[in-house]
Amino acid sequence: MKIITYNINGLRSALGKNFLLWIEQQDADILCIQETKLQAHQIPKELRLLRIPYFTYWSHAQKAGYSGVVIFTKNKPEKIIQGIGIDEFDSEGRTLTMVLGEYCIVCAYFPSGASGRLDFKMRHLEAFTNYMQQLKKEYLKVLVCGDVNICHKSIDIHNPKDNEKNSGFLPEERAYIDKFIELGYFDTFRYINPHPHQYTWWNMRTNAKKQNKGWRIDYIFATENIKNEVKHAYLMPEINFSDHCPMVLELGT
């Protein structure tokens, strides 16, 4: 099973850059896409042209041009859950959950703590953890795919010292990932790849990608019982539809 997570930073913009062709070339079983920036009436008709017969499931923000997630899946899921059951967060279209066989896959777009939203972000982190604990009781194998908007360790950011007071690398945000992992999850990318200078987001206003001055804020977390299924976990920094890059997880037995 091949899973891709990708913050696309505007789906309509990406479609104008041959994003559909890229999707077909990847031939993933599941794509978890964040920051679609679409509402229900704006879903592009071009998606009907995909030669891969994906089932698609959406969660939209009430605010136009903001947030939103979508899951593409080759196999029809047994269940789809929109949101985490708290309107404060669900109105921003941040979470979509799919139950597929023994797997429960969550597509998530965590809020940024910038622009005075740190309190909102921290409340979301707590609520999301409570939601994940419920899922973990119900389902055997659980994965979280998405933009977490947090760099976990110093290895995950190009300049840790200068970013210690910036949201995305604050001690309390990083401690959240520690606590989340302690609940029985692992970082699938770091499980395979311990090397530095591996990032998923670059500030395009400062031309940071050319210098690889980035942040690794996109993850696929999985419950510990999936470790023996991990075959490959890698980033695709050469892909430029967004200021993020895709992360890929390949599972097998």
Residues serving a catalytic function are: 147
Q: Please name the residues in contact with 13: beta carbons below 8 A apart, sequence gap of 6 or more.
A: 241
Phi, psi of 133 (to 5 degrees): -65, -35
Rounded CA gap, 57 and 52, in Å? 15
CB-CB contact of 128 with 108 (8 Å): yes
